[in-house]
Amino acid sequence: MRRVLRASARLCGLRLKGTSKSRQKSAHRFLQQQPVPPSWTRKEWELLASTVRYYRGSEPTAASGAFAKLHEDQQANLRALAGVLRLARGLRKSGIGRLLGFAPKKTAAAVLLHVPGLVDSAETAARLAAAKHLLDTYLGKPLILKPATPPQLVALPSPTNQQIPLAVASD
C-alpha cells in the first residue's frame, strides 16, 4: 500500500486538457484506461486510480457506482489512502509546510496526532475537520489533531572561572 500511496500522491495533480468533468474524475478515467505498469497488479492500479479520484471533492459512499463495486477490504484501503491524502492537503492548506515530525498516540477512544507548527484557530479546525473525516471513518474512532509542543531547551550550568587542575605524566 505504501507504493500506491506514493504514486497516488504524485498523480493527484494530474490535469487533462479537453475534459468537461472534474479533474479527479478525468484523472480516474484516464488511469483506468492505461495499461497496468510492470510489477503492479490490476487491483493495485485500480486502487491508485480510485485514490486519485477521491483525494478531494465528494467522499466515496457505499451507494456510489465505482466505490460500491469494490470489495470491502478495497473500500477500506481506499478510505485509508484517500483519507491520508486529504489530511495532508488540509494540513498544507493550513500552513504546515513540511509534513514531518508527527507524534501519533493511539488510545482506546481516539487517535491523537501531535502536529508541529499547527496553529490552533477556528478556521484551521474547520478546514482540518473536513480533511480528516474520511480518515476518521476508516479508523472507526476520531483522529484528534493537536499542536505539538516545541522541545524545551534545558539550560546547562556554565563552568565557573576556577582553574581545573590537569595532571600530565611523562615517561
Instruction: Give the pLDDT score at 39.
Output: 92
Residues 6+ apart with CB under 8 A from 153: none
**pTM for the whole thing?**
0.77
Nearest residue to 92 (alpha-carbon basis) of 118, 111, 114, 112? 118
Question: In percent, how much of the chain has pLDDT > 70?
Answer: 87
Per 3-state DSSP, the chain is made up of helix, strand and coil in percentages (nearest 5) of 45, 10, 45
Question: In percent, how much of the chain has pLDDT > 90?
Answer: 19
Q: Which CATH number fits domain 2-147: 3.30.530.20, 3.40.630.30, 1.10.3210.10, 3.40.50.150?
A: 1.10.3210.10
| Residue 136 predicted with pLDDT over 80 | yes
What's the rounded Cα separation, in Å, for the pair 139 and 75? 13
pLDDT tens sequence across 33-51:
889 999 999 999 889 888 8
